[in-house]
Structures are given as structure tokens and as C-alpha cells.
Amino acid sequence: MAPMQLHWDIFCRVIDNYGDIGVCWRLARQLANEHGKEVRLWLDDLNSLQPLCPDVNVLLAEQLCQGVKIFHWTANTAVDRVAEVIIEGFACELPHAYQHAMAQVTPQPTWINLDYLTAESWAESCHGMASPHPSLPLVKYFFFPGFSPASGGLLRERNLLAERDQLMAGIDRNDALDISLFCYGSAPVGKLLDVLTDSDTEIRLHVAPGKPLAAVIAHLGGDAPWQCGHLSVLPFDFLPQDNFDRLLWRCDINFIRGEDSFVRAQWAGQPFVWQIYPQEEEAHLVKLSAFLGCYTQGLSTAATNAAVNLFKAWNSATDLRQAWSDFLLARPEIIKHNRRWATQLANNPDLTNALVKFCEAKV
């Protein structure tokens, strides 16, 4: 391999528990293991990475894990060298000393701000845009993940879909529904439990730890597991990322949140319901509508309405019972659509590959 842009530094500040680090950790692993890059991940909260990667020792300031060098990023952290490519995860500000060191390097390193995922049209026009530093001879480029060829694409490991299909081929389906639940504390979990309890079909609800399980306990009381009519409520321990992906593959419907699990639910090819991260003045609902506008293309009017209404009910706690009933009726069509949707997305370059090519073109 040519030594061009061999060294990459990724900086990540944990804001949303697992969303930011979830994306940055997947990116770091893929750069190291599929592209042969020497990757250093600078992270301010090792405790958030440890559940995603149990091999991580939260007490170490520096360690090597799954091919990635992980550094605990603190206010006093000294960086000994500047990488050829620097990824600023989700607009986290790079250390000032590091920025000044970047300005002294020749040739100039490639500096990328990896932004949040959105289907809004403005993101495509901003993708790849250059932004000169106000006082240093540096340029930062904005890189937007997305759902079309005009965007930066989505994180997808090289053999992900083949591994999914191999696992799914060995699963025997029955009439019971397996549903995963991973959500924020604002989700109407109690209303969902009431609706599922009234089901005539056997349902196994697999509940993630943290806020989802806390919401279930608050509504049902007592100790897990719970049996409510035909509904079995089954908590699971925190899963490393690869194991969580496989849970999504095996489940018939996935309630997911944020960005990382949102993308992984789409690669699963199963029906899913997304809770978007709440923002002030309900700005997140604009982002939700933008996604639904592109995702539902190709669905019948009835299935489109069913998907849109359940997504909106889950994000605004409106009539969840009717929305759920309509979604189940449309589920056979949505299953076929989601497989096509995953295949369509996979025809676009994956984010890591697109990022490598983008940076190589800046040399």
C-alpha cells in the first residue's frame, strides 16, 4: 500500500451517550481493518465506548483495540504528531494546540468535519464544501452522510449484507413477532406496551438497557421478565455493536433511535420505527419528514400513510394504537420495500470508502 494518507486522527466528544461514539468507532474500525489506515481515536469519554467494545479498558490513557489506537482525550492531552487526515466528529472543536501544529505541517493535512446524517436537501449542496480557518492557513471540509449518490453515503462494512443474508437464511420464522426497543426517555413506551398487550399475536419485545428498560419498569413495575397477555417483555444486556446489528437482523420490527442504530436498522432490511433526537422548537420533525419523503418512495399510498403515521406517532405520542394497527396491515409490503431500500442504499458508495477517496483527491 502506498504511504499516502496512511495516518488518520479521529476526534470525538460524547454528547448523546452512544450515537456520536457509535459512528466514530465504526468509522475507525473500518478505516483500520478494510483500508489499512493507522487510526488514532481521540475520545473524551471511554465509559461510553466500553459497552460497544468490551475489550476497552476505561482506566488506560492509551491502548490498541481491534486495530485502532484509542487515546483518552482530556484538556491536558498532548498530541505528539499531526496526522495526514484529521476527522472532527460532529463539529467537536479540535484542541487549539493541535490546530496550530496542523498549520506548521507541509503538505497541509486534510481536515474533515464529519457532520450529522440528514435527508434534507441543503445537506447535499453543502457536502464537500470548504471552509477556511479564520486565522490559520487551514481549510476544513464538510462531509455529510446521506441517502443519495450526491451525499457521503452511509457506514457499511464490506461484507455486512452478505453476513446478514447468511444469518437470515438459517432462521426459521413463525407467527410470533420479535420486536426490539431502543429509544430515548421521551418515547411513549407505556402507550406502546398497552397496545402490544392487547395483541392477539404472540409478541416478544426485546428491551435495551438504560432509558428503554427504565421506561418499561416505570410502566409495568415489578421485575423482569414480564408477561402481559400474549406479550413477553424481555430485557437484554448491552450488546457490542456487531451483536446489536445481528439482533436487528433477527427481529421482525425494530424501534431504534438517533443515528447509528437508525442506519443499522436500514441495513437489516426489516420494518423499523425511528425516534429522532428531539430538538428545540421541534426542528427534528423537519428532519424526520425529509427522511420519510425519500424513504417511502415506491410504497403504495396505504403503506406510505401507515409508515408515516407510526413514525410521527412514536415521535409525538399521538394516536399510537391506530397507527400500529395500520402498520401491521401494511407490514408485508413494508418488508419487501425495506429489502429493496437497503439494496438501493448499498448501490451508493459506503461512507468510509467515499471519505477515503475524497481525502485522496485533496492531496
- The strand pair at 139-143 and 130-132 is best described as antiparallel
Supply 39's cell numbers: 487510526
- 132 strand-pairing partners: 139
CB 1 within 8 A of CB 34: no
| 3-state SS, residue 59 | coil
Q: Are 141 and 129 in contact (CB under 8 A)?
A: yes
Length of the chain counted residue by residue: 363
CA distance 250 to 253: 9
- Whether the bond between 109 and the residue before it is cis, its omega within 30 degrees of 0, is no
- CA proximity to 113, closest of 152, 158, 154: 152
Q: Which are the catalytic amino acids?
A: 20, 259
C-alpha cell at 176: 410470533
Helices (H), 59-141: 96-103, 121-126
